[in-house]
Amino acid sequence: MRPFYYLETGSKDPFYNLAFEEYVLTHKAEGDYLILWQNGNTIVVGQNQNTEEEINRPFVESHHINVVRRMTGGGAVYHDLGNLNYSFITDAGDVSRLSISRFTAPVIQALSELGLYAEASGRNDILVNGKKVSGTAQRLWKNRILHHGTLLFDSDPAMLSGALRVNGEKFQSKSVKSVASRVGNIRDYLPVDMDLAVFWAFLRGHLCDEVIDAKLTKEELTAVREIKTRKYDTWEWNYGNSPVFDVINRQRFDGGTLEVRLSIRNGRIADIAFFGDFLSRKCLVEIIAALKECPLRKTDVEKSISHFELEDYFGAISKDEIISLIFC
């Protein structure tokens, strides 16, 4: 097996760290990469989410929590310095055979070697003793793939539950208790205690068979800062200004929550947007472009999206479910 090049961002700034990760994905066309990194207090929303609906704004502002959008799908997550993030960037291979387990397996194995009962669960979670300690997501870029995930090691549960709005479709109760009962910290289950620095060093040596320390050049780091300034620092990327829509339909499927917003003019789709925590691996811009100006008829809408590999855009949400939501 090829060794992984090991990178660290050298920063706790979420806007910089996501730019760093994006640069490696889009500019390092060869080789396998592992990045371990941390953000200061931050909410990271999925690419297809409506930011304002995911955050508890008064709590976020009073606690000076950063809010940033990532380039992968899935749901909103809270980061602090008790959380450790990992990123694998490598060749995608046969996209039709891609699976989350390809990348979660080494994480589960590493946790197991620490004496923890770890297992994959649901669409993209890793559990320890039945509690969620990790959520993951992916992004395809040409023939490359980014898979990244959180690892709740010793995060503050009060901050985690206070910063995020609880989705009533996921939890029967909107109370803080319902969140706390679902998630856990890895440190609480370790048979022998360790701090995060030791945990970090352990993962560096156990997520890959072999790692080679690497660094980005000064020129590459300048390019990272340019991505940060142009994209991740902007209100347009992190919040965005959605137009007024005539129709809003929302439903939770096995593959995640999907919301569609439509503006209809003269029987055609003048504008359309999709929101949700579904696990997309590609940006939806091509889907949206294909549907604009499409007649609002099932046959026409289905024809407009039939040539796309919809799993890349909507994860496990099927074409029939997308169509049914548009026309419900």
Task: Tell me the domains of the chain and their CATH numbers.
Answer: 4-238 (3.30.930.10), 247-326 (3.30.390.50)
pLDDT band at 181 (very low <50, low <70, confident <90, very high): low
Segment 92-103 shows an average pLDDT of: 86
List alpha helices for the chain, DSSP H.
14-27, 51-54, 57-62, 101-113, 157-163, 176-180, 196-206, 218-227, 235-238, 285-291, 298-305, 310-314, 319-326
192 SS3 class:
coil
pLDDT value of residue 165: 83
**Distance from C-alpha of 190 to C-alpha of 199, rounded to nearest angstrom:** 11
Considering only CA atoms, which of 279, 116, 288 is closest in space to residue 188?
116
**Distance from C-alpha of 86 to C-alpha of 80, rounded to nearest angstrom:** 14
Count other Cβ atoms within 10 Å, centred on residue 260: 21
Segment 206-222 shows an average pLDDT of: 96
pLDDT value of residue 265: 93
Segment 283-304 shows an average pLDDT of: 96
**Distance from C-alpha of 212 to C-alpha of 202, rounded to nearest angstrom:** 15
**Distance from C-alpha of 155 to C-alpha of 133, rounded to nearest angstrom:** 10
**Distance from C-alpha of 310 to C-alpha of 32, rounded to nearest angstrom:** 27
Segment 222-226 shows an average pLDDT of: 98
Count other Cβ atoms within 10 Å, centred on residue 32: 18
pLDDT value of residue 29: 95
Segment 218-222 shows an average pLDDT of: 98
pLDDT value of residue 99: 81
For 279-317, b/e burial (b = at least 16 CB within 10 A) is bbbbbbeebeebbeebebeeeebeebbeeeebbbbbbeb
Q: Amino acid letter at 163?
A: A
pLDDT band at 218 (very low <50, low <70, confident <90, very high): very high
pLDDT value of residue 177: 39
Q: What is the DSSP-derived secondary structure letter of residue 297?
A: S
Contacts of 209 (CB under 8 A, 6+ apart): 1, 3
Are 102 and 138 contacting, i.e. CB atoms less than 8 angstroms apart?
Answer: no
Residue 84 has pLDDT above 90, yes or no: yes
pLDDT band at 236 (very low <50, low <70, confident <90, very high): very high
Looking at 58-143, which runs of residues are DSSP E strands? 66-69, 77-79, 83-91, 118-121, 125-128, 131-141
Q: Is the pLDDT higher at 182 or at 103?
A: 103
pTM higher than 0.85: yes
pLDDT value of residue 256: 95
Residue 241 has pLDDT above 70, yes or no: no
Segment 221-235 shows an average pLDDT of: 98
pLDDT band at 314 (very low <50, low <70, confident <90, very high): very high
Token duo for residue 7: 């990178």
Considering only CA atoms, which of 41, 60, 14 is closest in space to residue 231?
14
Residue 179 has pLDDT above 60, yes or no: no
Residue 16 has pLDDT above 60, yes or no: yes
pLDDT value of residue 166: 64
% of the chain surpassing 70 pLDDT:
94
